[in-house]
Structure 1
Amino acid sequence: MSAPAFLAGEKVRLRALTEADADGPYVGWLNDAEVCAGNSHHVFPYGRDTARDFIRSANERSDALTLAIELAADGRHVGNIALNQIHPRHRSAEFAILLGDKAVWGQGVASEAARLIVAHGFSALGLHRIYCGTFADNAGMIALAARLAMREEGRRREAAWKDGRFVDVIEFAVLASEWARQENSTN
């Protein structure tokens, strides 16, 4: 049984990860080269014990908010989303998302989940800046960053080793004031 919704939209609910999630499709996502093409996972095999350890640790942290993305329609766990490295003094956090269920790619699930957690970061956590970095060839994450009103801040040249080659990492961020302007213009 999954945990109750922490944040909810029309398509998705975001909830705490539970150890039971390690018994579902979650572990397979991190062992799938296609799912992990745009992130730093899929370097070592990922097992259920590792997933359980991560879930326990994630639920105990006060410097990160890691949530499961589940479909509102059927409760299926389709990915994870997080605000990592929450810094109370600088009031910043790093955004991360893993949409593991390929059947929901391109259906707006990532966009809605991202909007929910970013809005929560600015309103409930009082953040001033939310940032992320992604591989230069990760078109999906670059498009998601744009939908979140994130601006490109820079490029770290050949900063990551992925699939036998060095790739650039593009850095993005959105400030609370920019987020508020975007939200006001869409409402």
Structure 2
Amino acid sequence: MLNNKNISLRAFEESDAETVRAWRFAPQNYDYFYEFVMPNKIQNDAWFQNTLKKTSEINFIIETKDAKPIGMIALIDIDNRSQKCEMGRVLIGEEDYRSKGLGREIIKTILDYAFNHLNMHKVYCEVFADNAAALGLYKKCGFEEDGYFKQHVYKNGEFKDIVHLSIFKN
């Protein structure tokens, strides 16, 4: 478990599957994920079980200090040889906890883990170009734009642009 002032990050557990599905596919969140078709419970359970088995990613549940699950975040495609990974699945799923300054704390916590525990040299992420809130948050946390991928993801009947960002270990 990773602890910080207001939040903790703990590994996914099997009992988190339905909560994660509810967060990921709530109407207010779904547009920010690459998925095109909303999975049913069986498909989500299969995805979740597969995710638990992967050795190249670590998925965390974000909890308040009183152990209330409020969101998720992950390190994906962990490449120990090149010392890089993707930060993804960043979501505060409980709306009451958004816009409270927790995003920076969550990202700083996972970056500290990536750089100082996993010995990563680079952490990168992708975000829809029209997601101004996420872009602003990532830049406040030190991420810099690497590139812009035009019409990179098909979502909601249109091709959407993606911004690729990264941050390096100091």
Change (3 A) 1:98 1:30: same
1:134 and 2:127 matched: yes
For 2:159, the aligned partner's letter is F
- Offset at residue 10 of structure 1 (A): 1.5
1:124 and 2:125 matched: no
Match of residue 17 from structure 1: 12
CA distance in 2, matches of 1:88, 1:140: 30
Query: Does the 8 Å CA contact 1:128/1:175 hold for their aligned counterparts?
Result: yes
CA RMSD of aligned residues (A): 1.7
CA distance in 1, matches of 2:43, 2:64: 24
For 1:132, the aligned partner's letter is C
For 1:20, the aligned partner's letter is S
CA distance in 2, matches of 1:45, 1:51: 6
Change (3 A) 1:46 1:11: farther
Equivalent of 1:35 in 25, 29, 38: 29
CA distance in 1, matches of 2:144, 2:40: 33
CA distance in 1, matches of 2:87, 2:72: 11
- Offset at residue 51 of structure 1 (A): 4.0
Change (3 A) 1:122 1:35: same
CA distance in 1, matches of 2:146, 2:137: 15
For 2:78, the aligned partner's letter is I
Which is bigger in relative contact order (C-alpha 8 A, separation at least 6)? 2
1:159 and 2:152 matched: yes
- Offset at residue 69 of structure 1 (A): 0.6
CA distance in 1, matches of 2:129, 2:115: 26
For 1:13, the aligned partner's letter is S
Change (3 A) 1:121 1:75: same
SS of the equivalent of 2:29 reads coil
- Offset at residue 46 of structure 1 (A): 4.0
CA distance in 2, matches of 1:15, 1:32: 22
Q: Deviations over 1:8-64 (max 9, x none)?
A: 1111110011111124x32222221211222213622342x4444344333332211
Match of residue 72 from structure 2: 80
- Offset at residue 159 of structure 1 (A): 0.6
Q: Deviations over 1:137-176 (max 9, x none)?
A: 1112101211221110110001111222111100100011
Aligned residues: 169
TM-score by length of 1: 0.83
SS of the equivalent of 1:110 reads helix
